[in-house]
């Protein structure tokens, strides 16, 4: 029986865990900081002691950040060009710096949400059981 199907295992609220993670807080208690730096997740929560080293966010937050920023930047770039016809240099400088800033702001928010989702869904060892090896 897995931790997900065990009736004695309490549910973990997904939305709340993702909001806590997105705000950079522990998905379990919501009090202590989850990151030690810009993107490095602490091994354990300093508030409640929850193990956070199980997370496997990998490239997911980066892909989602690129997806969001590129869609917004593309629409703004097209609208700006059609309305104002600025020079190519101005467009490149403005949208390159804007995309960089937006990506740097969104990346830790999205990574925190990913870690919160994994904690709430008891993925990758957060449920008290080790990950299973992939079947051949």
pLDDT in tens, 29-88: 999 999 999 999 999 999 999 999 989 999 999 999 999 999 999 999 999 999 999 999
- Residue 2: phi and psi, rounded to 5, are -85, 165
Percent of the chain with pLDDT over 70: 87
Rounded CA separation 75/127 (Å): 41
Residue 132: HSE in the Cβ half-sphere, 13 Å Cα cutoff: 4
pLDDT of residue 128: 67
Rounded CA separation 114/58 (Å): 10
Helix 88-120 to helix 60-84 angle (10° resolution) is: 150
pLDDT of residue 11: 87
């Amino acid at each position: 029986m897995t931790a997900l199907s065990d009736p004695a295992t309490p549910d973990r609220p997904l939305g709340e865990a993702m909001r806590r993670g997105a705000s950079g807080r522990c998905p379990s208690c919501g009090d202590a900081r989850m990151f030690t730096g810009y993107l490095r997740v602490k091994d354990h929560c300093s508030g409640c002691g929850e193990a956070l080293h199980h997370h496997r966010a990998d490239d997911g937050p980066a892909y989602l950040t690129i997806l969001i920023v590129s869609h917004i930047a593309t629409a703004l770039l097209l609208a700006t060009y059609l309305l104002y016809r600025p020079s190519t240099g101005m467009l490149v400088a403005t949208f390159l710096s804007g995309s960089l800033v937006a990506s740097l702001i969104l990346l830790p928010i999205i990574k925190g949400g990913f870690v919160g989702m994994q904690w709430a869904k008891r993925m990758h060892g957060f449920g008290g059981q080790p990950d299973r090896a992939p079947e051949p």
